[in-house]
Amino acid sequence: MAPDYTTRLLTKETWPDFAALVEANNGVWGGCWCIGFHPEGLSKPPSAAANRAAKEAHARAGTVHQVLVYSGDDCVGWCQFGTPAELPNIKNSKTYEREATTPPNWRIGCIFTGSKHRGRGVARAAVAAVLDGIRASGGGIVEAYPEQVEERGPQRGAWFHTGPETLFEEFGFERDRRIAKWRWVMRLTLS
């Protein structure tokens, strides 16, 4: 039986829940705090404290779109989304830009599930809530940049930070173009 999840947006009110999950998971991949897709990107030189401060500033200013997934009172995962202006930094951007098509209205960035809740549908609940939010905002072309999992060895780790391709297929996304050996641009049009 799948757990019952609820979702809320990341705001200044939900910041403590998000921060607790990130802190319980080593700052997420060593301290990125899910800031890499934002205009300022990861801090240079690398600093978990600077990344945290930048992300908190977005949450307090309301300049972030991010669905938090809850199991009871505990935040157990999230899915980040936003317009291309809100999330301009994607991996493999040179290849992406070289083969660009019609620009998307929305991008799905990072997806994260706390280590104790993986394999229980948290990412699926997060993406479903994101797509509902995008529909409520008028829809449009939605892009995601997941990792191909078929024909790939049993790897785990940070390469999954944009989710597996199979998750997006479940929601009707289709491959648009390859931008790295294992990374695809996948698209869905919502009305």
Domain residue ranges of the chain, discontinuous segments joined by +:
6-190
Q: Which CATH code of 3.40.50.261, 3.40.50.300, 3.20.20.70, 3.40.630.30 fits the domain covering 6-190?
A: 3.40.630.30
The DSSP 8-state label assigned to residue 159 in this structure reads G
Q: What is the pLDDT of residue 96?
A: 79
Q: What is the mean pLDDT of residues 75-100?
A: 89
Q: What is the pLDDT of residue 98?
A: 83
Is residue 87 within 8 A of residue 38, CB to CB? The reply is yes
pLDDT tens digits, one per residue of 167-185: 999 999 999 988 878 788 9
Assess whether pLDDT exceeds 70 at residue 159: no
Q: What is the pLDDT of residue 158?
A: 46
Average pLDDT taken over every residue of the chain: 90
Closest Cα to residue 149, out of 163, 165, 162?
165
Instruction: Give me Rg for the CA atoms of the chain.
Output: 16
pLDDT tens digits, one per residue of 131-142: 999 999 999 999
Q: Model pTM?
A: 0.91
Q: What is the pLDDT of residue 73?
A: 96
Q: What is the mean pLDDT of residues 121-146?
A: 96
pLDDT tens digits, one per residue of 39-74: 999 999 989 999 999 999 999 999 999 999 999 999
Assess whether pLDDT exceeds 60 at residue 1: no
Query: How far does CA 147 lie from the centroid of its chain?
Result: 12
* DSSP annotation string for 24-83: HTTTTTTT-TT-TTSTT-S-SS--HHHHHHHHHHHHHHT--EEEEEEETTEEEEEEEEE-
Query: Biggest alpha carbon distance in the chain?
Result: 45
Q: Write the single-letter amino acid at 108.
A: I
